[in-house]
Amino acid sequence: MNDKSFQNQLFQKETKILESAMEYVSKNNCSDAELLAKYQQLADSYRSLLKFTKKIFKINDAKGKEIKKSEGEIKKLLDNSNQGFLTFDKSLIVNTKYSAECMRIFNGKIGNCHIMELLSSDNSEQNELFKNCFEVIFRTDDIELRNWHINELPKKIKINDKYIKLEYKFINKIETFSEKDVLMLVLTDITEKVKAEELEQKIIQKTQMAEELAAANEKLIAQQEELTALNTNLEKSNKALEKANVELRQTQSKLVQSEKMASLGMLVSGIAHEINTPLGAIHCNIDLFKTIISRLKSINIMHEDQTVSDLMAKFETANNTNLIASERIMNIVKSLRNFARVDEAEYKDVDMHEGIDSTLLLLNNKIKNKVEIIREYGNITNVFCYPNQLNQVFMNLLVNAIQAIQDNGKILIKTYSKNDKAYVKIADNGIGIKPEHINKIFDPGFTTKGMSVGTGLGLSIVYNIIEKHQGRIWVESEVGKGTEFTIELPINKDSRS
């Protein structure tokens, strides 16, 4: 018999009892009208109560069906959820009703299993915490104490290589009209989240390492830039030092040259003076001898004695030789004076051809029987210059040209003017200059002759003298064919740039 049939029979039985009582009261003519009225009122109330109770039963029956249906839907939702739900009472035995997710988490059925078996791990302190908290939660009636122990329970554990989040809900039997108090355990698989957090932490650590590396790199770059700046300053200092050194060497070479030229000028002046005095006497005697010879010839003494005639002929020949020699000595002295030009240290206009010829005369000993000098002098007006310095330029260039000719050769000296500029070309057909040496030949101290032959200052002095005259000098050379130096000088003061 179902609950509904039982309820109908109960209501019918109660109704019959109430009707029988009412009929009995009516038939027996109860004398107590007041009591009868109260009984009648009580009967009406009971009838109403029966009707209301029947209605209540009908409502509860409908609600029960609805609740049962809701429970089914809730269980279906819980089974499809990614959370596990289970309950257990003070026996710590898991209720047979749990969600499907619990089976996945614990790798099998868990109904009637002891909760400690499911939650136990290698962490003995955690196991002891579970045990003590569960004992207090089910034993105490103190809500505050119970809630404190619930909060003390672990919130995250590892089960079967899965990270599980734990939430707890105590369900009181009085509030739910149940037979026992239970503790609901909600399990959420947060493995992916934990892995993501671990990955995020690794990324953060790597990011921090990258930032630290970047900071270290920036510091290294800053140090490198500082080092580069220091190197740049050092290079600038080295270049300045090199420049100062070059200028010092050039100044030294100029001083040496100036001292040499001054000493040479004084020496030449002294020698010229000393030579000119006896040379003047010799020259006078030669003139006297010429007069005597002429007189002797006029009186015909030589016709009378052949011996005397022969002696007079020899004497005349010797006197002519002495004349030629004295004139040559006078020319050499003049060339020395012209080359040194002690009396012409000031800036003035001079004949360059005269300076070139004087230089060639002084170099005659090196030139004869070895070098053929070819002069191609153009029509050039006098050039404003320091004569003694310009003669030094010619001397140095001609000496280099002579030394470049190994056996016999030629030196071409060509002069011409163009656009208020005077040009002097000195070319030889000697050994030539190597291409890698062309840009160094004017550097102080540079030489390819060896220290026993040259000091490396000759062309540096030439360059400085030409630069001092606001002119230019350049060189063209080919190994085995020869070298050509070209000098460009302003002709007068107004044409200097």
pLDDT in tens, 267-288: 666 666 667 667 777 767 777 7
Q: Which residue in 384, 344, 337, 329 sits closest to 358, CA to CA? A: 337
Which parts of 81-190 fold into alpha helices (H)? Answer: 100-106, 115-119, 124-139, 143-152
Q: What single-letter amino acid sits at 438?
A: I
* Tokens coding 148: 């404190």
pLDDT exceeds cutoff 60 at 119: yes
> Which one is predicted more confidently, 266 or 309?
309
CA torsion 201-202-206-208 (nearest 10°) is 20
Domain boundaries, the chain: 3-76, 81-189, 346-497
Max Cα-Cα span within the chain:
236
Who's near 310: CB < 8 A, 6+ residues apart? none
The torsion angles phi and psi of 54, rounded to 5 degrees, stand at -65, -40
Tell how strand 371-376 and strand 482-490 pair up.
unpaired
Measured between alpha carbons, how far is residue 7 from residues 53, 64, 161 in Å? 10, 15, 55
Measured between alpha carbons, how far is residue 390 from residues 91, 132, 463 in Å? 126, 117, 11
C-alpha 173/C-alpha 138 separation (Å) is 11
pTM of the model: 0.41
* Tokens coding 51: 């009707």
Is residue 244 packed enough to be buried (19+ CB in 10 Å), middle (13-18) or exposed (0-12)? exposed
The mean predicted confidence, pLDDT, of the chain is 78
Predicted confidence band at 135 (pLDDT cuts at 50, 70, 90)?
very high
Query: In this predicted structure, what is the pLDDT of residue 358?
Result: 84
Write the DSSP string, 358-413.
HHHHHTHHHHTTTEEEEEE------EEE-HHHHHHHHHHHHHHHHHH-SSSEEEEE
Q: Which residue in 68, 70, 101 sits closest to 84, CA to CA? A: 101
CB 390 within 8 A of CB 382: no
Who's near 97: CB < 8 A, 6+ residues apart? 75, 87, 111
C-alpha 129/C-alpha 113 separation (Å) is 19
Query: In this predicted structure, what is the pLDDT of residue 74?
Result: 45
**Residue 448 DSSP class:** S
Query: In this predicted structure, what is the pLDDT of residue 385?
Result: 87
User: 413 pairs with which residues across the strands?
Assistant: 375, 426
pLDDT digits (tens, 9 = 90+) for 372-415: 999 999 998 888 888 888 888 998 899 999 999 988 899 999 99
C-alpha 300/C-alpha 309 separation (Å) is 9
**Residue 95 DSSP class:** P
C-alpha 267/C-alpha 278 separation (Å) is 17
* Tokens coding 4: 């509904």
C-alpha 409/C-alpha 105 separation (Å) is 110
Query: In this predicted structure, what is the pLDDT of residue 497?
Result: 47
C-alpha 236/C-alpha 339 separation (Å) is 43
* Residue positions counted in the chain: 497
H/E segment holding residue 335:
helix 306-340
Query: In this predicted structure, what is the pLDDT of residue 290?
Result: 76
Who's near 332: CB < 8 A, 6+ residues apart? 361, 362
- C-alpha angle 346-350-351 in degrees, rounded to nearest 5: 155
Query: In this predicted structure, what is the pLDDT of residue 116?
Result: 93
Query: In this predicted structure, what is the pLDDT of residue 90?
Result: 92
CB 183 within 8 A of CB 93: no
Query: In this predicted structure, what is the pLDDT of residue 139?
Result: 93
pLDDT digits (tens, 9 = 90+) for 45-96: 666 666 666 666 565 555 555 545 544 544 554 555 578 889 999 999 999 8
**Range 81-189 classified under CATH 3.40.50.10420:** no
Tell how strand 371-376 and strand 409-418 pair up.
parallel
Architecture of domain 346-497: 2-Layer Sandwich (3.30)
Query: In this predicted structure, what is the pLDDT of residue 79?
Result: 53
Q: Which residue in 420, 382, 411, 407 sits closest to 483, CA to CA? A: 411
